[in-house]
Structure 1
Amino acid sequence: MLLDSTPGNQAEKDGPPNISVQSSYMIDDAKTKLEMACPHTVSCADIITFAARDVVTMSGGPRWNVLKGRKDGRISKAAETINLPAPTFNVTQLIQSFAKRGIGAKDLVALSGGHTLGFSHCSSFEARLHNFSSAHDTDPSMNSEFAQKLRKKCPKPNRDHNAGEFLDSTLSTFDNDYYRRLMAGKGVFGSDQALAGDYRTRWIVEAFAKDQSLCFKEFTASMVKLGNVGVIENGEVRLKCRVVN
Structure 2
Amino acid sequence: MVSSFNKMHILLCLLLATLTTTAQGQTRIGFYDITCPTFQTIVRATVQSSFRTNPAVAAGLLRMFFHDCFVLGCDASILLSGPSTERTAPPNLSLVGFEVIDAAKTQIESACPGVVSCADILALAARDAVVLTGGIGWQVPTGRRDGLVSQASGTVDLPAFNDPISVQISKFADKNLNTQDLVALVGGHTIGTAACAVFSYRLYNFSGTNQPDPDINPAFLPQLRALCPNGGNVSTRVALDTGSVNRFDTSYFVNVRNGRGVLESDAKLLSNPTTRTFVQRFSGAVGGPALRFTNEFARSMVKLGNTELKTGSRGEIRRVCSAIN
The two structures have a TM-score, normalised by structure 1, of: 0.95
Identity %: 41
Q: Is this contact kept in 1: 2:254–2:283, CA < 8 A?
A: yes
- Structure 1 unaligned regions, length at least 5: none
Q: Is the 8 A contact 2:240 2:262 kept in 1?
A: yes
Query: 2:101 corresponds to which residue?
Result: 27
Q: Distance in 1 between matches of 2:221 and 2:101?
A: 36
**Equivalent position amino acid for 1:232 in 2:** K
Letter in 1 for 2:149: I
Asked if 1:238 is matched to 2:318, the reply is: yes
Change (3 A) 1:137 1:68: same
Could you tell me how far 1:14 is from its partner in structure 2? Answer: 1.2
Match of 1:166 among 202, 223, 239: 239
Distance in 2 (alpha carbons) for counterparts of 1:3 and 1:214: 36
Q: Which amino acid aligns with 2:318?
A: R
Match of 1:192 among 257, 260, 266: 266
Determine the structure 2 residue equivalent to 1:215. Answer: 293
1:14-163 to 2 correspondences below 5 Å: 14-133=88-207, 137-158=211-232, 160-163=233-236
Distance of 2:207 and 2:89 partners within structure 1: 28
| Structure with the bigger percentage of helix | 2
SS in 1 for 2:204: coil
**Once the two structures are superposed, what CA deviation does each residue of 1:168-207 show, in whole Å capped at 9, x if it has no partner?**
1211110111001001100011111111232121111000
Q: Does 1:4 align with 2:81?
A: yes
TM-score (norm 2): 0.72
The SS at the match of 1:62 is coil
Q: Specify the code of the residue in structure 1 equivalent to 2:80.
A: L
Aligned length: 241
The whole-number CA distance in structure 2 between the counterparts of 1:77 and 1:146 is 39
Q: 1:22 & 1:195 partners in 2: Cα distance?
A: 26
Tell me how large the CA RMSD over aligned residues is.
1.2
CA distance in 2, matches of 1:208, 1:27: 31
| Corresponding letter in the other structure for 1:165 | V
Instruction: Check conservation: 2:191, 2:248, Cα contact below 8 A.
Output: yes
Of 220-229 and 230-239, deviating more is: 230-239
| Pairwise CA distance, 1:150 | 1.4
- Structure-2 separation of matches of 1:186 and 1:193: 8
Unaligned runs of 5+ residues in structure 2 are 1-77
Distance 1:103 1:23 in 2: 25
Equivalent residue of 1:145, what SS? Answer: coil
TM superposition shift of 1:135: 5.1
Task: Please state how far the C-alpha of 1:136 moved relative to its aligned partner.
Answer: 6.1
Q: Which sits farther off after the overlay, 25-34 or 122-131?
A: 122-131
CA 1:36 to 1:132, structure 2 compared with 1: closer, same or farther past 3 Å? Answer: same
Give the distance between the partners of 2:209 and 2:105, measured in 1 at CA: 53
Match of 2:306 among 228, 231, 241: 228
